[in-house]
Amino acid sequence: MSQILARSVSLRRCLGVVMTGLLSVALVSQAQAAETSVPPQVTMINDSIEQVWRDYEIRPAGEVDDPQWCRRVYLDVIGRIPTFEELSEFMKDRSKDKRAALVNKLLEDDRYTEEYANHWSTVWTNLLIGRSGGTDRRDLTNRSGMQKYLRDSFARNKTYDRMVYELVSAEGSGKPGESNFNGAVNFLIGKVNEEKGTLATSSVSRIFLGQQVQCTQCHNHPFNQWKQQKFWEFNAFFRQTRALRRFVDGTRDIESAELVNEDFAGESGNPEDALLFYELRNGLQKVAYPVFTDGTEIGKSGYLEDVNRREELARLMLQSEYLDKMIVNRMWSAFLGFGFTRPIDDLGPHNPSSHPELLDSLGKEFRKASYDLKQLITWITLSRPYQLAPVLGRQNELDDPSIGESPKFSRFYLRQMSAEQLYSSLVAASDAKGKGSYAEQEAERRRWLSQFVVAFGTDEGDEATTFNGSIPQALMLFNGALTKNATSQETGSFIDRLSRSGRSPRDRLTRLYLTGLARRPTKTETGVAAKLLAARGGNEKEMLQDVWWAIINSNEFIMQH
């Protein structure tokens, strides 16, 4: 009897251990499921996009393979293609949530913080002051100061609403090293003095609110909800602001500039009622005071102690739904190639959205997420449209924005890398950076990029990039110093290290294609490489050099696909 009781106790103990183990496994599984669950915003995006596919009877392209998707997300999130080691690590991962894990790593891992911040500071520097802004010695804008402010902001993951408030309301010096340095002033410092601050008016409303007002400066536009009165009411917010300049001794070169607020007496000379005048096309004069786009008025006084107009503008902007919609539209376009409107910075009834409910819902969700840009990036990169292959076929031939159709996002739209992405990709993939200090390498990078920018000198500060397949671009990529560094055979170079890696010439060739194009070579490409090897007298280094030169000069390399 005692033996039976002992066995019974032992059995209960074993069952207890087993049940405890099963419970632990269940809890771990639940925790893992919670960690890897798709954010509800992603489901919302997918449902909305898929409904449009059903409405138009479109069948989307298939999902892109892992290597291509890895290359895609590296380019979009941190501004360069992955190295061979990074790509291999991702390809070896067998977990179901590997894509979500990679997005999280690029956004949250300290190893990528600097690259993330550099990439997005470059994007926003070009957006806020242009690619040529701050490059002329007579320019009030300090490009380094603008980049420093944005780099620091993205590195700390400063919320978008805070960035907008600071950029619109900033005061101080735009030059790093000054006692009152505030890099945010470089957005407006070159836009407030000329033409009564009209460039500041049009830039702030367009970039942050998606409202194109420049055409209404001189007359009402029949296709724009904004009217001339609205333009000058918005302009009135900038009339307390001036940019002061300090010159290099004995020259007309700008040493530094400072953005300041000061009392505004109004155009009638009465600061207590600081109005401004504008002229209608028929010659009549009308009066304007600071009134926000939704009709909200602020105090009419021009005295700073009564009202700081730019601070009030920044506060009112943060309450506008257009602030939310505009950044969602801009970021969606950055990752998918097209926004919900064309152009992306023109919102309103006169320019209907392709997916109005989705744009509205995403804007509200972004506000609920406290304007966390990394969350918005996560939602977009994990959404179904971002996973699709760049295939236009019979099943989705209606989805062709290049001929004027509204985008349906049933495929990934091919687009060219920016010049900055190409530079960073060549440096990362083949260690093509020049020699010298960081400052010297940065100066070399700027010289390389400056070759592709053409400034038009219009009132809007328009410019264009010639990084579009032109002859100068082709010559630079064929023979430039960056390409020579990328294809060098010197000891320790990318080609030299590659030639001493792998198990066979075929393996090394595969590594070359995976590094540049995130795919393996085709049978034809392998055959061409074999012929090149024979033509080079069996010198594998020279063969690899020839193939790599062809890869980095190919359309496939410079495309985001």
Q: What is the DSSP string of 85-124?
A: HHHHHHHH---TTHHHHHHHHHHH-HHHHHHHHHHHHHHH
* Geometric angle at alpha carbon 194, from 153 and 275, rounded to 5°: 95
Read off the pLDDT of residues 260-286 as tens digits, 9 standing for 90 and up: 999 999 999 999 999 999 888 777 889
Q: Is the dihedral of CA 162, 164, 169, 171 positive or negative?
A: positive
With 0-12 / 13-18 / 19 or more C-beta atoms within 10 angstroms meaning exposed / middle / buried, residue 23 is exposed
pLDDT, residue 447, reads: 79
The mean pLDDT of the chain is: 87
Q: Is the pLDDT of residue 369 over 50?
A: yes
With 0-12 / 13-18 / 19 or more C-beta atoms within 10 angstroms meaning exposed / middle / buried, residue 101 is middle
Read off the pLDDT of residues 300-309 as tens digits, 9 standing for 90 and up: 999 999 999 9
Read off the pLDDT of residues 78-110 as tens digits, 9 standing for 90 and up: 999 999 999 999 999 999 999 999 999 999 999
CB of 60 closer than 8 Å to CB of 53: yes
**Taking the domains of the chain in order of start, what are their residue ranges?**
44-109+320-385+403-413, 115-318, 419-560
Confidence band (pLDDT; 50, 70, 90) for 14? very low
DSSP 459: T
CA–CA separation, 379 and 375 (whole Å)? 6
pLDDT, residue 514, reads: 97
Q: Which of 203-217, 245-259, 444-458 has the weakest average pLDDT?
A: 444-458
Instruction: Name the phi and psi angles at 287, rounded to 5.
Output: -110, 145
What's the mean pLDDT in 402-429?
A: 92
Question: pTM for the complete prediction?
Answer: 0.89
Confidence band (pLDDT; 50, 70, 90) for 137? confident
Task: Please name the residues in contact with 315: beta carbons below 8 A apart, sequence gap of 6 or more.
Answer: 165
Confidence band (pLDDT; 50, 70, 90) for 449? confident
Confidence band (pLDDT; 50, 70, 90) for 482? confident
CA distances from 426 to 75, 87, 467, 548, 552 (A): 12, 15, 15, 11, 8
